[in-house]
Amino acid sequence: MSAVLFGSISTLADTSELQRRAFNEAFAAHGLDWEWSRDDYVSMLGSNGGAQRVADFAESRGEDVDAKAVHATKSEIFQKICADEELTPRPGVVQTMERAKQDGHKLGLVTTTLPTNVSSLLAALQRQMNVDAFDIVVDLSTVQESKPSPASYLYALEQLGEDASGAVAIEDNVGGVKAAVDAGVTCIAFPNQNTTGGDFSAAAETVDALDADRVAELTRA
């Protein structure tokens, strides 16, 4: 067997701008006069970990901020947005998931975000895709090392009983691609609207829509 591993919630539905909105609403809730523009946010997406982004931004401004508390509020806001907004799967996601199952491949969601963010996103998409199809869901409760550490991929492969050579990862950001590649997994870069300018040269290829046939081909390579 082999495995198709989606690397973040934004590989399923493009939530990047919703995440930025949630950050800005959280800043207001904590009395911070911060407003991350799209350009600001894009410049921060080379690494993973929202709380660290908040901490780094506070340090750059010489401010003392409880980054974990701000990030917790941001996550609560994001989860509410997921419940209220009509989210749709990204192009080719549903077909790729269906093809993986049809071909007998294992299916994983390998993130390093909070489990509540994952469950909120999957609940928002359950009418449009089979969210129960994942054989494993990795999040911050199971692996504490954020990407670009390969720990989340290594954990997923171990739990699935699969070798990296038989797996394909789908990632939307540079840190995620590095995590997959460092774990020995072939990676397709599938940038979201805020990561399109990243350096995805480490990926096997970069696409703006998933092709189920191509993903299946790579799992057999």
Residue 151: other Cβ atoms inside 10 A: 19
Whole-model pTM?
0.93
| Tens of pLDDT, residues 33-87 | 999 999 999 988 866 678 889 999 999 999 999 999 999 999 999 999 999 999 9
Round the average pLDDT of the chain to a whole number and report it.
94
> Percent of the chain having pLDDT more than 90?
90
User: DSSP secondary-structure letter at 4?
Assistant: E
pLDDT > 70: what percent of the chain? 98
Same fold, 3-13+88-220 and 16-84: no
Domain boundaries, the chain: 3-13+88-220, 16-84
Question: Quick one: tokens of 64?
Answer: 């003392």
Q: State which H helix or E strand residue 206 sits in.
A: strand 205-206
Whole-Å CA distances, 43 to 57, 127, 191: 11, 34, 14
Write the pLDDT tens digit of every residue in 160-172: 999 999 999 999 9
Tell me what pLDDT residue 70 has. Answer: 97
Average pLDDT of 120-140? 96
**CATH-assigned architecture of domain 3-13+88-220:** 3-Layer(aba) Sandwich (3.40)
Nearest to 215 by CA among 131, 91, 119: 91
Q: Which residue did the predictor score with more confidence, 43 or 209?
A: 209
- What's the token pair of residue 61? 């401004």
- How many whole angstroms separate alpha carbon 125 and alpha carbon 135? 17
Q: Which CATH number fits domain 16-84: 1.10.150.240, 3.40.50.2300, 3.40.50.11540, 1.20.58.1000?
A: 1.10.150.240
For residue 60, give Cα distances in angstroms to 50, 65, 66, 102: 15, 11, 14, 49
Q: What integer is the mean pLDDT of 132-155?
A: 94
* Residues near 35 by beta carbon (within 8 Å), at least 6 away in sequence: 24, 27
Q: Which class for 123: exposed (0-12), middle (13-18), buried (19 or more C-beta within 10 A)?
A: middle
The reported pLDDT for the residue numbered 48 is 60
58-68 burial string, b = 16+ CB within 10 Å, else e? beeeeeebebe
Answer for the pair 76, 22: CB distance below 8 angstroms, yes or no. Answer: no
Q: How far is CA 133 from CA 97, 171, 203, in A?
A: 8, 19, 25
Question: Which parts of 12-66 fold into alpha helices (H)?
Answer: 16-29, 38-44, 50-60
